[in-house]
């Protein structure tokens, strides 16, 4: 699988912190009925006979509530795997209310094989953006961080351009995980019905990509949740294989938090859409996807709220140039700024672990970042040296002041910054050893970063306005 520069070419399902999300079970024994809490009404298919034409809830000879004669003790043979995939497709379309238009090839590989096929690349642009978020410092490579992150966390992937699914197994004999399979089959279903949502993703800002992922991964994660609930209250389901070790990210947990936001808030976002207007409202969102992670974090802002467009005039000296992009820079968004604040000690210790609504894994809503209404991060370079300007817009002057105070504080307390004249701080050592100028003007907070205090004006000269 190819991973474009810190931009997935495939749609993946990620393990939660410390391993797979949800209950685990040893993959032993044959399929058995789970005790039923709420009986599932029997549909009109006596004796599980095949229908004359394709039906919602039936795929390739299997009904959604049909038991399977399979043994998961030592993995699934070809016929057993085909049966599991077919029934899972029937179950996904039964829950989602959409019919699969064609079969989807599914391959199961061990993690070693997956890692051998993985290809992560990052550019100087990526290095500057992730350093600007205070999430990947100069002591580490963005490429290496993401290679480790995705290599250990990816549980499966769907490649829209190839219409195929790869499930990653952490057991000695590759085995199918029912949650991962259901999740990736939703991506195939999305591609068959709403394929245009995958077009043009490379030209989006970081925040726009996260927002669109919030819908795409949110729909898949929401169905995964509903699917698992039915396994617990009526459906006979194969036991799940043991979870792998998950990612060992050490100082890079902020990267995980930044990347995982669509998987956390997306299902809650889709749940809210469904509450408003049923599956029709979810389907309609694919023609008008969210454009900001703030809309996914705060579902009531979709679709009528939009972020402000922020631009940064070029005030650099001749020896500092912007990266060749049009328009310059990118929008990082509320989710990424939350990750910055969280990873640098700007939130309560357990804030992230306190989700505030159904189908939400973590809590990305925080007073320091909830007032975000727009931003722009523009990287600069001077030979091998890099710098950046980050301008953020806030709903009120109070929101802007709170962010400016929090940002200065995290530089001092987490990164050891020392105060210089005026609004300049200097981090004397470590992976973020640079000069920072943090200013607020009304609802605008501007952060200028440069290798030295003297270079700050060379990157972004002080002027009125």
pLDDT in tens, the chain (465 residues): 223 333 334 677 776 433 222 222 333 334 433 333 333 444 567 789 899 899 999 999 999 999 998 887 778 888 999 999 999 999 999 999 999 999 999 998 888 888 887 778 899 999 999 999 999 999 999 999 988 887 778 888 998 888 889 988 887 777 888 999 999 999 999 999 999 998 876 789 999 999 999 999 999 999 999 999 999 998 999 988 876 655 556 678 899 999 999 999 999 999 999 999 999 999 999 999 999 999 999 999 999 999 999 999 999 999 999 998 888 999 999 999 999 999 999 998 899 999 989 999 999 999 999 999 999 999 999 999 999 999 999 999 999 999 999 999 999 999 999 999 989 999 999 999 999 999 999 999 999 999 999 999 999 999 754
Q: What is the pTM of this model?
A: 0.90
Characterize the bridge pairing of strands 164-169 and 154-159.
antiparallel
Q: What is the rounded CA–CA span in Å between residue 20 and residue 154?
A: 10
Q: What is the rounded CA–CA span in Å between residue 287 and residue 67?
A: 37
């Amino acid at each position: 699988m190819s991973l474009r520069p810190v931009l997935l070419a495939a749609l993946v399902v990620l393990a939660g912190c410390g391993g797979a999300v949800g209950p685990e079970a040893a993959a032993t024994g044959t399929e058995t009925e789970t005790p039923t809490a709420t009986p599932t009404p029997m549909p009109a298919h006596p004796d599980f006979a095949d229908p004359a034409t394709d039906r919602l809830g039936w795929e390739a000879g299997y009904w959604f509530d049909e038991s399977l004669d399979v043994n998961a003790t030592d993995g699934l043979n070809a016929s057993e795997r085909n049966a599991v995939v077919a029934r899972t497709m029937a179950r996904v379309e039964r829950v989602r209310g959409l019919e699969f238009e064609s079969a989807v090839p599914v391959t199961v590989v061990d993690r070693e094989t997956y890692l051998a096929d993985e290809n992560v690349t990052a550019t100087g642009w990526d290095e500057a953006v992730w350093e600007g978020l205070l999430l990947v410092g100069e002591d580490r490579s963005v490429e290496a961080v993401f290679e480790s992150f995705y290599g250990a966390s990816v549980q499966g992937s769907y490649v829209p351009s190839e219409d195929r699914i790869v499930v990653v197994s952490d057991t000695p004999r590759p085995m199918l995980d029912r949650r991962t399979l259901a999740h990736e089959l939703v991506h195939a279903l999305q591609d068959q019905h709403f394929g245009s949502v995958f077009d043009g993703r490379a030209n989006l800002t970081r925040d726009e990509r996260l927002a669109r992922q919030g819908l795409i991964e949110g729909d898949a994660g929401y169905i995964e949740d509903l699917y698992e609930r039915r396994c617990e209250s009526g459906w006979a389901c194969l036991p799940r294989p043991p979870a792998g070790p998950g990612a060992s990210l050490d100082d890079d947990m902020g990267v995980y938090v930044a990347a995982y936001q669509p998987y956390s808030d997306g299902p809650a976002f889709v749940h809210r859409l469904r509450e408003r207007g049923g599956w029709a409202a979810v389907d309609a969102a694919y023609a008008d996807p969210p454009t900001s992670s703030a809309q996914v974090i705060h579902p009531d802002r979709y679709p009528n709220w939009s972020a402000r467009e922020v631009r940064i005039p070029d005030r650099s000296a001749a020896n500092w140039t912007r990266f060749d992009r049009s328009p310059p820079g990118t929008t990082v968004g509320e989710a990424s700024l939350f990750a910055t604040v969280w990873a640098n000690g700007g939130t309560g210790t357990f804030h992230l672990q306190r989700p505030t609504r159904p189908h939400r894994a973590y809590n990305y809503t925080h007073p320091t970042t909830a007032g975000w209404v727009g931003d722009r991060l523009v990287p600069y370079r001077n030979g091998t040296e890099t710098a950046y300007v980050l301008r953020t817009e806030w709903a009120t002057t109070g929101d802007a002041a709170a962010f400016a105070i929090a940002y200065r504080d995290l530089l001092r307390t987490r990164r050891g910054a020392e105060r210089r004249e005026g609004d300049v701080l200097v981090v004397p050592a470590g992976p973020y050893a640079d000069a920072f100028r943090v200013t607020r003007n009304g609802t605008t907070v501007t952060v200028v970063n440069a290798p030295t205090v003297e270079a700050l004006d060379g990157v972004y000269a002080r002027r009125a306005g």
